[in-house]
Amino acid sequence: MTLYKKRERFQGFSAKVGNFFSKFGLSPNQWTVITLIPALITMYFLIKQDFLLAAVFFIITAFIDIIDGSVARVAGKATKLGAYLDTIVDRYVEAIIVFGLIFASLPNFYIPAYAWIFLYFLGSFMTTYAKSAASEKGLVKKELRGGLLERADRMLLLFVGFLAAILNPLYLTYIIVLLAVLTNISALQRIYTAIRSRNG
């Protein structure tokens, strides 16, 4: 899926978002931290199994995640600290959502649903860690990207899963199974790329 390859198509939209929300007087870092609020509300509604409201607040979370970067670019306030904080908060947001999924009492699929949720979170974590570790250890010169699923792809699939769960929670389990498989493949792809880069 790799939606990051299509980001240039959204640059005009991002500029409009940045221009509008920069008028609120909040810094990009403040917008980043605010992202945690709708994420926590999403978690609450997942636990309550209100998948419609969970989907609503999840999309709000995703939108605010766009705002911080857009404001930073428009205001000329893009910094390494801001990029670092954004990465950290992104990890917390995904962990908060996973926490909500664990307590959502989803139907099982061959193995307990919480096992699939753990495998999804493991794959998500390792996809991110494979990138940071490759840079930290000097295996790659440029930021390691690619693989079947980036964070934006994972979030999109989760959103589809929340909507599908309105009809039947089992559909969300299916989405999580898919995420469990694809995120771990993505992690292995990045690990392989890092090893090949070193050998090259």
- What is the residue-averaged pLDDT of the chain? 84
Residue 190 has a pLDDT of 86
Give the global pTM. Answer: 0.85
Q: In the predicted model, is pLDDT for residue 69 greater than 80? A: no
Residue 139 has a pLDDT of 77
- pLDDT per position as a tens digit, 144-162: 676 778 888 889 999 999 9
Q: With cut-offs at 50, 70 and 90, classify the pLDDT of residue 193.
A: confident
Report the alpha-carbon distance of residue 99 to residue 46 in Å, rounded: 9
Report the alpha-carbon distance of residue 147 to residue 181 in Å, rounded: 12
Report the alpha-carbon distance of residue 143 to residue 86 in Å, rounded: 16
Residue 43 has a pLDDT of 96
How deeply is 166 buried, as exposed, middle or buried, from its count of CB atoms within 10 A (0-12, 13-18, 19+)?
middle
Q: What's the average model confidence in pLDDT over 128-156?
A: 78
Report the alpha-carbon distance of residue 39 to residue 24 in Å, rounded: 21
Kindly report the CATH class assigned to 3-199: mainly alpha
Q: With cut-offs at 50, 70 and 90, classify the pLDDT of residue 58.
A: very high
**H and E: helices and strands count for the chain:** 8, 0
